[in-house]
Amino acid sequence: MAQSAPDDSARQPFTGLAGFFAFWHHAAMTTDEPNGILPYILGAVIGGTASTLPRPGPGQPTERTAEVDTGKPYGLVRIRYRLMRYRHGKSDNWFWTAVHAERVA
């Protein structure tokens, strides 16, 4: 009687691009990152969402949030922006910077 080899398909890790996304998704969901999943969101998505915020300036609240659908693997994400200022000579320059991102349940 011939014995069949044990089925290792359940223990085999993903390989190639599927393995990368599986690791990426797992790392983002288990991270202790103070910025949430912000490091895993593409810069184009963050920048595109920032353009929907009001013009930065001294009369604005210090923090704003925006929601954007990032697609796979995170879906709908809420990004928190903080109003910041830097001085160059006598000029004040105001800008929004992304500080935290989290999945919207």
pTM of the entire predicted model: 0.67
Predicted confidence (pLDDT) per residue in 1-21, tens digit: 555 555 555 555 656 666 666
Distance CA 29, CA 15 (A): 20
The predicted-structure confidence for 52-97, as pLDDT tens digits, reads as follows: 999 999 999 999 999 999 888 888 999 999 999 999 989 999 999 9
Q: How far apart are CA 1 and CA 77, in angstroms?
A: 56
The answer to whether 13 and 19 have CB atoms below 8 angstroms apart is yes
pLDDT tier, 99 (very low <50, low <70, confident <90, very high otherwise): very high
C-alpha dihedral, 49 to 55 to 56 to 62, nearest 10°: -70
End-to-end, the C-alpha distance of the chain in Å comes to 53
